[in-house]
Structure 1
């Protein structure tokens, strides 16, 4: 059986320069025989036509198009069918999947790393996020605001920009001619805070060395090691045993990009936390982590914030809320589980990343959202709760207008 075919996944917002980069990869592929799958929204796949004009591979052969949908959701079955057919019908050295401007790379990569037919034939070599430097700075620099990225049901652009960078092995800072040197430095500093391990390259017109993009850097074991997750892991080793701890991370920085790790073993009051999240300072670019909120449902919650977009998701019951025999089973299988004698695994662990944050003020504001001693003794299910009560459901706390 032949060795797995390496795959490069290209992601990025609409107009960031993915198709330009793809055409450069094809033009400068050298001895590589590259097959391409491109995806665009709409009945006419413009990207496929642009790519097919610049390669000997025909649309019916090496360039496969999936139109009128997103390869990471509605057309997931079509994606798997297309890549399996490509591997069966022709020989090539490398597959490049260009996701549409509203696709996220993580589900696409999952197709090639799980027990699917595609995973049996391919392996992910790299995940490349193409960033429009001007757009990124306008979204997150100073008082920037990221608008929606598509129709009224789509998630905001800020989500796409941040999540694409956080999952990337390579980040291409494109359109560098449209920002000042200081703005570009600020963008790169923020990108490195979001994904510390990524290879970052600056360019105009997507002029990138193909050898860099094709190199194997993807590791399934560290694929989700975004900056916020690394901050939690580092901070956990330094946290006080009582769980009341916050760490200020100050890497070598010129433009004030820092992170704060916040841990508490006392729950948030749902209304006060909601009000805090609706008025989150613009300096906070990314927040992620687990929240303990005083509700009658005894659920853990996951906070996800990227720029002006803030969502809270009910993740499921705390292990400590389960019957004792189930708790014991979970704890036996999770030797590193952070367990408190009184509260079990109930806790808040958050990372906030931003530029020029007033870190002490943020920590104080979060502390003000915690229950008082009197509230700890009250009936928590009497608190008005704006957050979801069913596991898997989420609530949009804030997001930019269309």
Structure 2
């Protein structure tokens, strides 16, 4: 059984989340679920097959070492969120109430994002469970670990491409999420990673580059390199799970104001892979920024962070990219623009960090971005972003004539998604608890 690191007083049922983006990765996750299920009678595996979601049908399987049940669910709206709300979350609470269930393994369909699932477990209220008080599934279960499987030979190409899930045939036509967004998100949210297919076409160079990306994307997550999914025995998986550090996130969703660099990632370059930090104490000119952001679409795995736009002095703007797609959205207000009542309700850690860099004129407003490059020149990216900052004369207008600055061209006025040609249907980032948003 999995070594439980939660406090002894926590009697909630542990949940292990298995995520794998299609192909060999999804097959590896399924094999791991079968191995864990057969090894421990108290383990129950739950899987929702969303392959027919566009027809409003979901196939649900619940299995243990001694039984298996399969059901076909007909969902009126046929979306990921209603599958979570109507079936998965109530099922977690129901299973947790059974004495025979010691652990739940969630083998996620590729259309599910582990971050969205974990956020729902903690925050979405489940009503009408007989004998249970209305509340989130987190009252009865806790996320013990998120284990992500990836196809070592294809993941980096997926993580840096432009294809959408719909184009890949993995989602409804109106789902604007990209393959890169899901591939990067699954790994970024992982407590441990299993890289399948350890022998890569490019040999040691390809493996070294992928290892360098993982070391910077999830520096604290142990990585197991596996040639064949058949080698994924229960004992091997359990051993990997016990290597997860005690301070790992374990399903915790960070908001937009949390530190952007977590753990201790290497800050040097390796196989052309490097982390670039960009910080500034003056705002971006929105029109120039819109042009400069093209540098994030080639040779970059992911970028994320908080931005200060000259035309939006009260609002924190969140940027997040994966491969060839980028989204910009709101992340609340700057502390300096809050009322006393709002300040009193702000997160104490955020207030403490802001106090360390508080500016007499602009308060906590600043720019902080982290960019993971794999085949780009960090100096060119830095130069492009620096060019997008307001110049000295423009900064004086920001200080003395904000009403004039508010009239500048602002492509981000109603938030933004790239590529621009698809921005009319792209999903805005509105939930700063889960900046990637959720498919509808």
- Give the TM-score normalised by the residue count of structure 2: 0.74
1:321 lines up with 2:321 in the alignment:
no
Correspondences of 1:8-47 after superposition (within 5 Å): 8-27=16-35, 29-41=38-50, 42=52
1:386 lines up with 2:411 in the alignment:
yes
Match for residue 110 of structure 2 among 76, 93, 101: 101
Against the structure 1 CA distance between its residues 331 and 355, is the aligned structure 2 distance closer, same or farther, given a 3 Å change threshold?
closer
1:346 is aligned to 365
Inter-partner Cα distance in structure 1 for 2:12 and 2:341: 43
Inter-partner Cα distance in structure 1 for 2:82 and 2:207: 33
Displacement of 1:297: 5.6
**1:136-164 superposed Cα distances (whole Å, 9 cap, x missing partner):** 13235xxx524111234321011111111
Correspondences of 1:68-79 after superposition (within 5 Å): 69=78, 74-79=83-88
1:165 is aligned to 187
Inter-partner Cα distance in structure 1 for 2:345 and 2:259: 27
Inter-partner Cα distance in structure 2 for 1:266 and 1:209: 53
1:282 lines up with 2:298 in the alignment:
yes
1:397 is aligned to 418
Displacement of 1:254: 3.8
Select between 190-199 and 321-330 the one with higher mean Cα deviation.
321-330
Inter-partner Cα distance in structure 1 for 2:318 and 2:329: 5
For the Cα contact (< 8 Å) 1:303–1:310, is it kept in 2? yes
Against the structure 1 CA distance between its residues 178 and 336, is the aligned structure 2 distance closer, same or farther, given a 3 Å change threshold?
closer
SS where residue 326 of structure 2 aligns? Answer: strand
Displacement of 1:362: 1.5
**1:174-198 superposed Cα distances (whole Å, 9 cap, x missing partner):** 2345643222222222122111111
2:202 is aligned to 180
SS where residue 134 of structure 1 aligns? Answer: coil
1:369 lines up with 2:394 in the alignment:
no
Correspondences of 1:126-205 after superposition (within 5 Å): 126-140=145-159, 145-150=161-166, 151-154=172-175, 155-177=177-199, 179-181=201-203, 182-205=205-228
Select between 106-115 and 303-312 the one with higher mean Cα deviation.
106-115
For the Cα contact (< 8 Å) 1:133–1:175, is it kept in 2? yes
- Give the TM-score normalised by the residue count of structure 1: 0.80
Inter-partner Cα distance in structure 1 for 2:194 and 2:28: 12
For the Cα contact (< 8 Å) 1:27–1:55, is it kept in 2? no
Displacement of 1:307: 0.8
Inter-partner Cα distance in structure 1 for 2:30 and 2:348: 48
**1:34-76 superposed Cα distances (whole Å, 9 cap, x missing partner):** 211111211665684xx86x9642215xxx7767656555432
Against the structure 1 CA distance between its residues 358 and 38, is the aligned structure 2 distance closer, same or farther, given a 3 Å change threshold?
same
Alpha carbon RMSD of aligned pairs, Å?
Answer: 3.5
Unaligned runs of 5+ in 1: 236-247
SS where residue 106 of structure 2 aligns? Answer: strand
Inter-partner Cα distance in structure 2 for 1:265 and 1:302: 16
For the Cα contact (< 8 Å) 1:11–1:98, is it kept in 2? yes
Inter-partner Cα distance in structure 2 for 1:194 and 1:2: 30
Aligned residues: 375
Correspondences of 1:304-315 after superposition (within 5 Å): 304-315=320-331
SS where residue 382 of structure 1 aligns? Answer: coil
2:434 is aligned to none
1:57 lines up with 2:64 in the alignment:
no
1:86 is aligned to 95
SS where residue 149 of structure 2 aligns? Answer: strand
For the Cα contact (< 8 Å) 1:262–1:363, is it kept in 2? yes
Inter-partner Cα distance in structure 2 for 1:276 and 1:184: 31
Against the structure 1 CA distance between its residues 33 and 18, is the aligned structure 2 distance closer, same or farther, given a 3 Å change threshold?
farther
Against the structure 1 CA distance between its residues 267 and 107, is the aligned structure 2 distance closer, same or farther, given a 3 Å change threshold?
same
Displacement of 1:110: 3.0
Against the structure 1 CA distance between its residues 328 and 112, is the aligned structure 2 distance closer, same or farther, given a 3 Å change threshold?
closer
Unaligned runs of 5+ in 2: 1-8, 126-134, 167-171, 398-403, 427-440
Inter-partner Cα distance in structure 1 for 2:386 and 2:15: 46
Select between 119-128 and 156-165 the one with higher mean Cα deviation.
119-128
Select between 191-200 and 131-140 the one with higher mean Cα deviation.
131-140
**1:322-371 superposed Cα distances (whole Å, 9 cap, x missing partner):** 34665577597722323211210110001111114322222111110011
For the Cα contact (< 8 Å) 1:299–1:318, is it kept in 2? yes
Inter-partner Cα distance in structure 1 for 2:273 and 2:90: 43
